[in-house]
Amino acid sequence: MNNELSATTLVIFGVTGDLSRRYLLPALSEICQSSEIRAELKILGVSRREVAVLDILDDKTRSLDEQFQVMQMDYQQPQEYQELSEKLTQLGSAQTIFYFAVPPEAVLPIVNNLGAIGLNTAQHKLLMEKPFGTDMASARTLIEETGRQFKEDQIFRIDHYLAKEMAQNIAVFLGSNVLFRDVWNNRFIEKIEVAVEEQIGIEGRGKFYEQTGALRDIVQSHLLQLAALTLMEPCPDVFDMSEVRPRRLAALRQLKADPASVVKGQYDGYKEEAGVPDSAVETFAAVTLTSADPNWQGVPIRLITGKNLDKRLTEIRVYFKKSQSAQANLLRLRVQPKEGIELELWVKKPGYEQDLQKLPLDFNYQQYFDRLPDAYEQVIVDAVRGRANLFASSEEVLASWEILQPLLDRWQDYPLKIYKSGDLAETILAAQ
């Protein structure tokens, strides 16, 4: 494996923002200190207001000090891009990656300004955060307009769940183990649940969340991608990563949402927190999908997400069918926390009686590996290397909106259940 990354300048638009400070800079700091990878990275933070490097870096990211510069620039003004272009020439890296930590409406103007000044040639890449549109039509516009300036292979759309270690492992694990590979279909599997449960609420991001809601924030991206990884046909060579993206897309294209299965909820106190007394935005959403793939017909795939729940848990639960003589098994692919795989097995309960007992066979990453790289580290390293597998293609983005659009068309019609902070997902699902 090539551990040396080509010399790169990373330009961060909106460097003082939440995304940059919380995710990107800590990940960059880890990469630059890693002994596993040799990275020649220069970082150019772009900020509209004047700000000093040391005001941006904190204890965790201070080590980036020497390779970090800040440029004050109003990225809405086309004439300011000349200076940016000159700066990049001075820095002289082999490639430049533009990362966007700016509000969604600021993205296209920046993309167009970069294109207009010629900062869109093959050695320039875009590293973009969701949202990729708010529905089918806006996603299509965003993709088409970005496509006028940058080619698809220059665009890296982050879905950081794809880069979580356990998510990367799904295709490898299912493709490499004969125990699962041959029973991974509707003959043996009864139903699948994919859950992204969060303990945190909206954390002061009311304005953002009011335009988003759980369906757009988590279902359209993270949950559909985890479902696609679970349902996709395993690659003949599980490490042939170039195959994963088209297979995820093929799985997504078979999916349909059942409009009668929707559950929408909002935690009590959300309206006050968001500052919108009559808000109908959902902080909890569940929907069941069905697949037209002959391997998966008849297997319901339930997607569930919510904020302010009793715990933080992302996992895929695969329920195997009971047979005439044997009991049903449950396999859990645990994405976070405590990344790992758990299989519920039936064994004889020790003692004089003849009783069955269900016990977990549990593999936990932490038992075997010192440290799992953070998803953002993987995202940056793969964007620098130009490996597209961990990113959502334009076709995947459109396919996922296509699944949800029929629900969005009547979204206001679904009743909103108000739930208590700390409730269990099951309680909300069961409530009338």
Applying CB under 6 A, the residues found at the interface with ligand BG6 are 160, 198, 217
Q: How far is the CB of 221 from ligand BG6 (least distance, A)?
A: 7
Q: How far is the CB of 217 from ligand BG6 (least distance, A)?
A: 5
Q: How far is the CB of 104 from ligand BG6 (least distance, A)?
A: 12
160 noted as active-site residue: no
Tokens of 395: 């076709």
Tell me which of 222, 302, 317, 332 is the catalytic residue. 222
Q: Which residue is nearest to ligand BG6 (CB)?
A: 217
122 neighbors 154 (Cβ within 8 angstroms)? yes
Nearer to ligand BG6, 193 or 217 (CB): 217
Nearer to ligand BG6, 34 or 199 (CB): 199
Q: How far is the CB of 305 from ligand BG6 (least distance, A)?
A: 9
Nearer to ligand BG6, 114 or 163 (CB): 163
CA distance between the termini of the chain: 54
Amino acid (one-letter) located at 378: Q
Nearer to ligand BG6, 160 or 248 (CB): 160
Q: How far is the CB of 198 from ligand BG6 (least distance, A)?
A: 6
Name the DSSP letter for residue 65: G
**Rounded CA gap, 178 and 158, in Å?**
32
Nearer to ligand BG6, 30 or 293 (CB): 30
Catalytic residues: 222
